[in-house]
Structure formats: structure tokens, C-alpha cells
Structure 1
């Protein structure tokens, strides 16, 4: 491919799992709205393989359906990462790539970044520099390695720059732009599905949550793959549910493990309002109206901070410290007594309300598009002059 061909090639934008969609939707729109527009090719790796949920998320977010679907499906981390790499490289061969833009920290993020870096194609990483400090988390490995091989690193909070500096990433590669997840939230908040409507659509009585409710999501392997951990967490949630109805959007992994461990009856007997995984607009409505949210999700920590809703994170660490320092998030760990105490504090005093962090203003994607256009022009010129 000639240098002229490279300049005409698209920015390949990669999504692989549910959180990526919320981050990519505003970026795709901003790149198209830039003048002149930046051509894009949207590649879905198929890492998240629930086709019905995929279609729903793309529609909810008004994200164009993928130009390419690699359909890798589920597998071990090693197999899935390798399969994404095998299937992604021919996409570059066919379409070319002016740059490869990846978001977040899933296996697809690292896999596509590796392919691009080995092909001497610029790697652009959105949501760089976030660290939990826990190398046992596969996502932490993906984050660290992707940042090391990225040419442009867009950050959501200023503390991310300190993390990158400690890891030897040159300061000029990192750009603070704000949080594209919040771009999606602010753009879609008025379209969120009301909780009462959601329950009615599920065949349940809205009266179940008329006097307030909490929202629960659990999916991390460290929480749901071990019965010695999952059982006490469910028991603690059931105790909270006696004081505040809990709407549990039950992840397939969690449901399967509850059944495998013989714990499914605990949900049925404890009065949870159990729902299947929800679409983006449904979850947005649930969170916005909740008294509190109990979760192990990274993105929900950010969304609840933007919504001003107290969040109890059932993890020992977080890669999003700004949600604790400035937002509504409280790390409660997995000890049942700590979970109960934190929930009691919310019910007694309303919980943390926090404030909106810097540049979480709905315009992060615009800043990315403006900077990336300038950076690509300068990069292309430097390569032509070389």
C-alpha cells in the first residue's frame, strides 16, 4: 500500500463487548461530523456473541451496524485473543487502515492493537491509563499492554496520566479528553425506559418498586465463579432486599453458576425482582431512578457518578478511582458485613452524591475527533517526508 493509499484508508474502529458500544457510538458520530469527515470502518469482533443483545445495543445507541463482524465467539482468554488477531489481520489487508482505534480493556482491544502495531499502523486507545493495580484481572493486563503499544492515548481522568508516566509512556502521547461513556449517557438519558414501564413489559407489577428500589449487577469471575464467594454475596443482597426491593439484572454467567452451585433457589426465595440482561436504555432508566446500585461493573461506577446515584462496588479495588474520590462510588469489597453496613448507610442518610468529574460533559468524542484529525495529518506528513 502506498502512502497515498494509507491517507485514503479508514480509521478502523473496534468493538468487542457490551461496554465498547457505549464508548464507540459517540466517537463514530464525532468522526463523521468532523470537517472534513474522517472515514471509518466499524469492526465487531463478536467477542460478545449474544446476537439479539448486540442488535438491541446498536439500535439503542444509534450506532451503525458493523461493516465487518469477525464472529469469534466465546473461548479462553488465550484462544479468543489469538482468534481475534487471526481474523482481524485480513480486514486490514482488504481495507487498509489509517489507524486502528480501540476502546476499553477487553481481549479484542489488546488483540487488534497488537495486529496494528506489528503492521506499523498507528494505534489509538480510548480510555487509557486506568489501573486497578490488580494483575490478577485479565482486563488489567489488557490495559497495560495496550497502552504500551499505542501511539495516541486518550484519558478520562487526570490520574491516568500519573499511571502512564510510571510505566514509561511519554507524556506527549497521552491526551486528557474526558469520558465518552458519559457522552452516550447524556445523549440518551431522555430516551431511557422508565422502570415502571420496564417491569410492566416484563409481566411484573410496577408496584414492586413504587416505594424505591436498588439495582444489582454481578458478573466478574472473581465474584461469581466461586461458590464460597458468590453465596455470601447473594445472602447479603437478600438481607438488603428485605429493606429495599432489589432489581437484579442477571448476567448469564451468574445465572449459570447459581444453578450449578445449587443456589438459584436463594434468588427465588429472597424476593429479588429478577430480570434478564437489559438493553442500554432500560439499564439507564433503572439506574437513574434507583436508591442505590450494587455492582461489580466498571462502567456502572462511572454512569452512577454521572447520574448522582449512590453506587456500592462489590470489589476490593477499582480502576476508576475518580468515581470514589469525586463521585458517588464506595468500594465495599466482598465481605457480607461490609456490604450490609454500606447499604444501611445509604438507606439511613442517602449515600454519596459526589460531583461530576472534569470534562465529563458530553463532548469527549468531539475532542477526540478534533485532536485525532490533526494528529493523523501530522503523522501522514511526517511519513511522506521521511
Structure 2
């Protein structure tokens, strides 16, 4: 398993270079071994053939020496000329004999027992009684030299054929390896590369979901499929790139929907959610409430302490609002010193309870130099309206929550007023009238 994972990490180019290097080393080593073996065998063949020819030549000289001796015997005597010729033949045979012993030893041929005599015993060997025995033993040596010479020649042919088979085997192995590598490269590189290109063609950089889906699909295929190391590296780089784009898109989205000073949602995001929630409430017959919040006498606070202190107070109030909201509420900065909180699936009573708790917490909070405020503290006024009881659409819901807010301000500030209570007061006045 570990070895297979290690092989998978090798790129096709590395595999080709590695295989080619190994193949070249094998061919060089095999060729060197072949030439050394061939040279050795060729020397043996040459020595055995030379020894065989010299044995045949020695046999001819020995036959000639026997004929010369027989002729002298038939003439019942030896002339001086014949004696000289016989002496010369004897010396030639002796030299050839000594040469043959050395050649047979070099060629690895074992001389017969009758030929293993010293120079002093040589005249006895060429005596008439032993000459025929020497000729028979010489025939055996010639036959043996002939057989061994043929065997050496056969071995030379065999080694040549073996070298050809070796070269063919190496070429076949390289061809099979190259074919397997091409197939593996096609399966692990070209096909995944085509699939990767197809996925990238479907990528829409303007749609965040497309970037995330592409990265997830690549991650799934990277887990299930067997890619080459190069494709794996490219795929992971693209996945990382898509992840970076997605993370940056999220940051951009946050910057796009967040207010810079308070980090609450901005008016655009608030409005989009308000419209969606009102439409959803219409379909599902549910309620959605809205609280409009305004800081009391905030202009005086800014004039007395400066706009930087005012910005810090806005941020502190925004943090309190965020902590008091539920996970699905939408706290937003509506504009200036005014905030808005959208309460999905919430009736007037619950929304007013949350607003009242928020008002009390802000009233008890200690802000810098708040003693200069008219009431000696930094407070807020809140107006609450609910759809569909207080408004028929999102636009009127904002207006009516704003009307409730200004009612709270006209009633002395630092209060929570619901639009429903305003209508109840009007109904009571009409009844009294």
C-alpha cells in the first residue's frame, strides 16, 4: 500500500526518465557482459581451431615420417641423404610436438598419455613399434579437439542468439512499460484534466455558489479518483484558489451588508430582509414585527463631545443591540442615530418586551460624558409596529413603526410605544367623544 502510494506520487516525466535510465543501464551492462563473454569464447574457439589444425598438420608430418622410415626399411639400408631427411623430420616433429603440448594446454585440451613424454623419451616414441600407437592416440586427440572446437563455436553462436533475445526482451519490456505508462498517464492525467477543464468551464465567478460547488466537486473527485501527482497538485491548487475566492467573497459580502461604524446590517440588507419576511408572512399567515430605535438628544451629545465620541457611543449602542437580539433577528443601522430591528415570526407583545428590555439596558449603561445630556444619561426611544395588524405592506410597516417612535419621543423620550397602543388611544378618544 505504501509502495503504491509512493509510485502514485511519481510524475509521468519522472517515471519516463527513471525507466529510461534503468533500461539504458541494463542495456549497457548486458552489452558489456556480452562483449566480454564473446571475446573469451572467441579466443577459446580460435585456440581450439588452431590446435586442431596443428594436430592435423602434425599427423601429416608423422605419416610422412613413417613413410620415409618404411621406405628405408624396404631398401635394406639408409643412405646418407635419407638419414639427413629423417633427422630433419625428427627435429620438425619434435618442435611441432612441443608446440602442440603448449597449444593444447592453452586451449584446455588434455593430451593423451602417449604424448606426455619428455624430450629424452621422444626417440623411443617414434620407434617403429610405438609409431602406430602414437598415430592412434593422435587421432583421438584430433577428434577430441574437433569436437571441443565445434562445441566452442556452438557456444559462441548461442551467446550471440542470447544477446539478440536479451535486446529484444529489453525492447519488449520498455515497449510494454511505455504502453502502460501512456495508458496510466491517459487515465490518471489526460482524462482528469479534461474533466477538470469541463468543470472550470461551468464555473461562474459572479456566483459564489458556483465557486463553492466547483471546489466541493473537485474535492469529491479527488477523494474518489486516482489522479497522477501533477493532476492532484493542480486540482488542490484550484481548490485552494476557489476557497480563497469564496472566503474573500464572504468578506466582501460582509462589507457589502454591514455598516462600517457599527458593524450592524446596513439599510440595503435590512430592506431586502424586510421585503422577504413580509412576503413570507403573507404566504404563511404569520406575523413580523419591526422596532425603530432613535437615540435621544444625540445631536447635543455630538456637539458637546465631538463626532469621534459620538461614533464610539454609536458602536457601544450597536453592540448592546446585537447582544439582545435573537439569532434570527436582523439588527440594522437605519441611518444617522437611528436603528431598526426586524423580528421575523414575532407578534407585537414579544417585540415590545424585547424593546423594553433593550431600553432599560441602554438606560443603565454608563457612557462617556453622558452627564451633559438633559436627563443625565444616554437613552433611546423605540417604536414598534407589526405586520399585518399595523400595516398592509413593508413600506407602511416602516412608516408606522416610525410614527410610534416619534410618539415615544413626544411622550417624554426613553420610552417604548407600539403602533397598536396608538390606535387604541385614538379609539378610546373617539368613544369618549
Place the TM-score, normalised by the shorter chain, in its bin. Answer: under 0.3
- Bigger share in helix: 2
The alignment's TM-score, normalised by the length of structure 2, stands at 0.21
The alignment's TM-score, normalised by the length of structure 1, stands at 0.22
